Structure formats: structure tokens, C-alpha cells
Amino acid sequence: MNIAEPLSKPGSDRGPDQPAIVAEALTKAYKGTLAVDHISFAIARGSVTGLLGGNGAGKTTTIGMIMGLILPTSGHVRVLGADMAHDRYRVLARMNFESPYVDMPHRLTVRQNLRVFARLYNVARCEARIEELAKTLMLEDFLDRAAGKLSAGQKTRVALAKALLNNPEVLLLDEPTASLDPDTADWVRTCLEDYRRKHMATILLASHNMAEVERLCDRVIMLKQGRIVGDGTPADLLAQFERDNLEEVFLDLARGRRNAAPQNAAPK
């Protein structure tokens, strides 16, 4: 698979020892309801971290705060050294995201959409980059078709192409393989693994697909009612909860069959 060469990475905030994402006592309350409750974590550069939790656990709010689209009630979140509440424009060109909560203009063709976003991200040689991504993500057959006329799977691949346009150092993904058939989903996961390996990119993904999380993630952060109830490698969590797979761990936590781990505690 041919994914573009990594960007050169000069700059004081790009050292390999600095975490890519740091959340400190991150809290978000909506009209008195705590959506995210004093969570803290640091995500290492070049890692893939899964954010797991049931509906309403606080995953989307957490990702929204990491992107700077939602302001924390208290606490801080820094991405590549920039405070995302106040200084996000310093690093937005080095990040990207994909989410089922957003879409791309339906009447524009895939190529037109990618061209617009390539220019917004100031991508050099944008037409060549679009062709390259079209080849990598197999978009060539519908590159000149209106985005609104694509199947759900095709839309997901186009959204992924948009997310990779600027070779982001930090990639935030919300359900990246939702609506894909197993074969295409597997292929997308391979693509993400390949992208991470070639670019040393940091990926944070929210997913309900436990097999996907076990395959892609070096680390899993489990959320319940806005609090971290599990944090560690998939193997650590399986050992901690004495389960065979993450789905069982997830169900234990979601249904309260096991006591949650202490807030922000490292796994045993």
C-alpha cells in the first residue's frame, strides 16, 4: 500500500518523548450533568489508543474537547503542545478527524470535496495527493460521482481519504469502520495500521467493535458515565478482568458485573 511519505517534523513540540495528547482533569458539564468527569491521560506519539464506552459514556464529548470543538468546563487538553481551548489553530493543520456526526457536501463530487479540503489544509500538490489517496483507498471508480450518491461504505472511505489528506500527525476517528462489510472493514484497518507505521502517527479511535480495538490498539481507555474505568493494553485489561476478549470486559463494565477500576488507575 502506497501512502505518502511522512512530513518532516522540525519544531520543539515534536519530540518523540512528548505525548501527542495530554488531558488533565478534563471535565465537561452540560446544565449540571457531568458528561466527562475529571479524566486525565497522556497518549504517546505513534500509538493507537481506543476509547471505549457505552452510549453516553462521554467518548464523543472527550473527542470534541480534544479537537477543540467543545470547551472543557474545567481542566485542560493539549495536542502536540497546543492548548486546544485557546491555541488550536497552531496545530489544526497537523491533525484531522473522521466522525459519523459530520458529512461532506452531498452535491459536490468526491474529487471536488477532496480538492476543497486539500486547499483548506494547504496540501502541497493537492491533485497528485488526491490521485494517490484515490488509488490507496480505491476511490477511483467514483471519484467524479456526487458524494451524496455513494453507498455507506464508499462514504466511509471518502471520509477516511479526507482525514488522511494532510498526512496528519494526530488522527481522531469515531467509528472508522461503521457501515462497512467485514472485508472492507478489514481492509480499512490494514490501511490504518499501514498509515500509522509509515507516519508514526498518533491515532485515537472511538469504536464499539471490540475485535477492531483488539487488533489496532496498543492501549484501551474505557469510559463509563464520564469517568475512566479501565486503562491499559488490551492484554492488561483481559488479565485484570479475567476475561477472554474485550467484548466481555466491555459488558462487565457496562452492566456493572465487576467493580470498576479506580479513577485513572493503571491496570494491574
Partner 1 sequence: MEQRFSFFRVHALVMRYIYLLASSWPRVADLIYWPLVQMLTWGFLQTYLARLPPQSGFVGKATIAAGTLIGAMLLWDILFRGQLGFSISFLEEMWSRNVGNLMMSPLRPMEFVTALMVMSLLRLAIGIIPVTFLAIWFFGFNLWGLGIGLAAFFVNLILTSWSIGLVVSGLLLRNGMGAEGLVWTILFLMLPLTCVYYPVATLPAWLQPLAWALPPTYVFEGFRAILVDHTFRYDLMLMSFSLNMVYFISSVFVFLCLLQSARKVGSLLQMGE
- Among 30, 42, 140, 235, which residue sits at the site for partner 1 (rule: CB under 8 A)? 30
Of 29 and 265, the one with the shorter C-beta distance to partner 1 is 29
In angstroms, what is the minimal distance from the CB of 159 to partner 1?
9
In angstroms, what is the minimal distance from the CB of 186 to partner 1?
26
144 binds partner 1 (CB under 8 A): no
142 binds partner 1 (CB under 8 A): no
86 binds partner 1 (CB under 8 A): no
Window contacting partner 1 (CB under 8 A); options: 92-100, 149-157, 184-192, 230-238 = 92-100
Give every CB contact of residue 87 below 8 A, 6+ residues apart in sequence.
none
- Among 1, 16, 42, 119, which residue sits at the site for partner 1 (rule: CB under 8 A)? 119
Residue 56 CB neighbour total at 10 angstroms = 14
Write down how long the chain is: 268
8 binds partner 1 (CB under 8 A): no
In angstroms, what is the minimal distance from the CB of 68 to partner 1?
8
90 binds partner 1 (CB under 8 A): yes
- Among 34, 44, 69, 251, which residue sits at the site for partner 1 (rule: CB under 8 A)? 69
Take residue 234 and report the three cell numbers written for it. 488490551
55 binds partner 1 (CB under 8 A): no
The 158-197 contact track toward partner 1, x by CB under 8 A, reads: ----x-----------------------------------
In angstroms, what is the minimal distance from the CB of 208 to partner 1?
18
Of 82 and 253, the one with the shorter C-beta distance to partner 1 is 82
129 binds partner 1 (CB under 8 A): no
Q: What is the SS3 string spanning the chain?
A: CCCCCCCCCCCHHHCCCCCCEEEEEEEEEECCEEEEEEEEEEECCCCEEEEEECCCCCHHHHHHHHHCCCCCCEEEEEECCEECCCCHHHCHHHEEEECCCCCCCCCCEHHHHHHHHHHHCCCCCHHHHHHHHHHHCCCHHHCCCEHHHCCHHHHHHHHHHHHHCCCCCEEEEECCCCCCCHHHHHHHHHHHHHHHHHHCCEEEEECCCHHHHHHHCCEEEEEECCEEEEEECHHHHHHHHCCCCHHHHHHHHHCCCCCCCCCCCCCC
Give every CB contact of residue 200 below 8 A, 6+ residues apart in sequence.
6, 16, 45, 46
Residues 236-255 that bind partner 1 (CB under 8 A): none
In angstroms, what is the minimal distance from the CB of 142 to partner 1?
15
- What is the contact surface with partner 1 in residues (CB under 8 A)? 28, 30, 60-61, 64, 67-71, 89-90, 92-93, 95-97, 99, 101-109, 112, 115-117, 119-122, 146, 162
